[in-house]
Amino acid sequence: MINENINVALIGNPNVGKTSVFNQLTGLNQQVGNYPGITVEKKIGFCKLPNNIKANILDLPGTYSLNASSIDENVVIELLLNKNDKLYPDVALVVTDVENLKRNLLLFTQIKDLEIPTILVINMADRMEQKGITLDIPYLEEHLKTKISLVSSRKGFGIAELKKQIITYKTISSEPCLNASVIDPEYFDSLRKAFPSQLLYKLWLVITQDVNFLNLERKEIQSSFTKSHSDLKRLQQKETIKRYQFINDVLKVGLKVDIAIAKDFRSKLDRVLTHKVWGYAIFFAILFIIFQSIFEWSKIPMDFIDSTFANLSSLASKNLPEGVFTSLLSEGIIPGIGGILIFIPQIAFLFLFISILEESGYMSRVVFLMDKIMRKFGLSGKSVVPLISGTACAIPAIMATRNIENWKERLITILVTPFTTCSARLPVYAIIIALVIPDNYVLGFLNLQGLTLMLLYLLGFGMAIFSAYVLNKIMKIKGKTFFVVEMPNYKLPMFKNVAINVIEKTKAFVFGAGKIILAISIILWFLASYGPGKNFNNADTIQRSKVENKGIEESEMSNKIASFKLENSYIGIMGKTIEPVISPLGYDWKIGIAIISSFAAREVFVGTLATIYSVGGSDNEDTIKNKMGAEINPITGKKVFNFASGISLLLFYAFALQCASTLAITKKETNSWKWPVGQLIFMSGFAYVVALIAFQLLK
Amino acid sequence: MQEILAFTALGFAVAFIIKKFFLKKKKKKGSKSCGTDDDCGCH
């Protein structure tokens, strides 16, 4: 039997459940978000269809029309215009939302004009009864010249029928459903005569879009048929009106909504959640609950992981044969890994809450709310998406700026997004807060530690929009982008989607960061266990011969020797060299080393300290937190992690660009080293000054 | 034996860090993003 391989493109407006249909068809899982811009690149999955047909399913970025104005919309148009592309679709699935059919059909009519066999997938069909919607499918199929598939990607129904329809793609009409050339018959006629072998609507798109499609051909077209920019815009508007007239006429017969059945609970809830006062109050209350819970619920599992690794370390050192590798294992590798695994509960809870907010549809209301604030600071509403995505990681957040059309708005968003508190900062915040902020309650229910964490998140967001305001004033942005945000229906979060998101994010954190932390822990252990010169090699003799050490207990003597060796090790020498720069901030050389190594990834900070303190001390059974809490500065005689130095460190990490990958992605997205270097100097310089002021005021 | 193991681990660690941060990544020919690769490379 011959195996046929076909390309299927999934196209649709943002938030119509396109990615969920993709997941259902391919079995692959990816982030399902409710706010626009989450899908910025094309994604491919594979699907076995009946009759031994294999399909490459291409999940294209969400777009409202084929009038491209951003990079992710260009992806769709470039593919659909280029028949030579190896992914050019044999059949297009235009995914729509049954409740927003009118607006979603605009894109459908444009795709049909490209004469690609197209199936209209009407998603969320399970809500039709509840919303009082009835569809006359035969009528719609006849007038839209297509096949219609009713599906519910959330409940999984209709997917098997959709697969059957895909394999009949050769029988599906590729005829346009309306004649768009009536907007200027004379112009289109001349175009048709000049290029008889070309598809008329494709020519029109090439003329009106600035897309990278067969450059020579475009030049040829433009030389004789280019109209003024305003004329083209006017014609595009006429085209859109013409399409909506057609859609209205078809839906007048094909779609019925019984308003008596459709109880508008959504509108009522929207009025409250996007209210200019209550909207913000509810949002901050939700944030507050999230950060309180992150601390409260994580306590027990974190303590368990911490003590398990301390015991493991002790077990390794007591039971394995004495030697270099055993020391590396018990003082370097185990504490280093423990330093990252301890944060699994907090990371998991953070993403659990974020996923629930996204899945329920609330996140889009937050985007809408924040848009009002953003505009006051001169940013595009579309900047909200990267800034909120930045709570996970700045890298995908910076990539999500691709849907901002205006270059300067995009650049400002790229530059300020790293201020948003990413998940990599969470371990640093969590351990410092636990050390310097008392676990007390204010007014009986406000946990100080949770409150501090929430303030740090707000500080990051506040600093991002303040910097945007300053940059906006300096860079003088001209022209604004308009912002369309889809308000999806409220729905109960799907357990499967939430679970997958939490597992994937936690896995990415553990395995991504874990590998770097493990490697750095090993290198640090060597740097801390070996040293040049007599001081390191003769540490034992030097310490025992000191007058002040005469008569002290052997355990104390061991600590003094270990500490002296550490100070004279390679890492100790490096740390002491940079100490003058960081001591005004309240940090000792060990913290300095942790700051430098955490430039690879912020989470490395905790792992580094765990390794350094393990090498420098003799008690392997103690937990990382206890070791850090007990550390005394030999010069001041005070605890290293006190309130002043702790706040200084928190502020330093809130503002500093401690992430090599962020620099790399900024360089990639701006195509210049000028912006990432400027970003690094400003953010790190600002962080240093703020941390310095904080320590000097609080000490 | 312990020293061999420890220094081998060090070699792997140094090689990994150099590869991760100092060498440019080569894109695999024909590699396709399936949408499941969630590693943003920042960790």
The DSSP code for A606 is: H
Q: Write out the H or E segment, with its range, that includes residue A30.
A: none
| Nearest residue to A505 (alpha-carbon basis) of A422, A407, A607 | A422
Under the banding of pLDDT at 50, 70 and 90, the label for residue A685 is very high
Report which residue type is found at A268: K
What is the predicted pLDDT for the residue at A500?
Answer: 81
Beta-bridge partner residues of A6:
A55
Range with the largest mean pLDDT of A54-63, A175-184, A478-487? A54-63
Rounded to an integer, the average pLDDT of A174-203 is 80
Q: For residues A570 and A399, which has the higher predicted lDDT (pLDDT)?
A: A570
Which two tokens mark A685?
Answer: 């310089």
| Nearest residue to A382 (alpha-carbon basis) of A350, A349, A414 | A414
For the segment(s) A1-262, the CATH number from 3.40.50.2000, 3.30.70.330, 3.40.50.300, 1.20.1440.60 is 3.40.50.300
- Collect all residues with Cβ–Cβ distance below 8 Å to A443 and sequence separation of at least 6: none
Closest-CA residue of B relative to A424 is: B43
| Nearest residue to A640 (alpha-carbon basis) of A649, A631, A652 | A631
Residue A206 clears pLDDT 80, i.e. is over it: no
State whether B42 and A321 contact (CB < 8 Å): no
Scan for tokens 């400003």, then name that residue: A682
Residue A639 clears pLDDT 70, i.e. is over it: yes
Rounded to an integer, the average pLDDT of A115-129 is 89
Q: Which residues of A touch B40 (CB under 8 A)?
A: 393, 395-396, 508, 512, 661
Q: What digits encode the pLDDT tens for the residues A314-323?
A: 898 888 888 8
Residue A29 clears pLDDT 70, i.e. is over it: no
Interface of B with A in 14-33 (CB under 8 A): 14, 16-17, 20-21, 32-33
Q: Choose among A22, A393, A511: nearest Cβ to B40.
A: A393
What is the predicted pLDDT for the residue at A94?
Answer: 94
| CB of B8 less than 8 A from some CB of A | no
State whether A325 and B20 contact (CB < 8 Å): no
Where exactly are the structural domains of chain A? 1-262, 278-475, 513-698
Site from A393, A611, A662 to mutate, B interface, most B CB atoms within 10 angstroms: A393
Rounded to an integer, the average pLDDT of A174-198 is 80
Report which residue type is found at A572: G
Q: Which residues of B touch A601 (CB under 8 A)?
A: 42-43
What is the predicted pLDDT for the residue at A38?
Answer: 40
Q: What digits encode the pLDDT tens for the residues A272-308?
A: 898 889 998 998 888 888 877 877 788 888 888 888 9
Residues written for chain A: 699
What is the predicted pLDDT for the residue at B30?
Answer: 40
Closest-CA residue of B relative to A86 is: B30
State whether A508 and B39 contact (CB < 8 Å): yes
Mean pLDDT of chain A: 81
Q: What digits encode the pLDDT tens for the residues A382-413?
A: 787 788 778 877 877 787 777 676 788 888 99
Rounded to a whole number, what is the distance in Å from the CA of B41 to chain A's nearest CA? 7
Q: What digits encode the pLDDT tens for the residues B1-43?
A: 888 888 898 999 899 888 877 776 554 444 333 333 334 443 3
State whether B21 and A600 contact (CB < 8 Å): yes
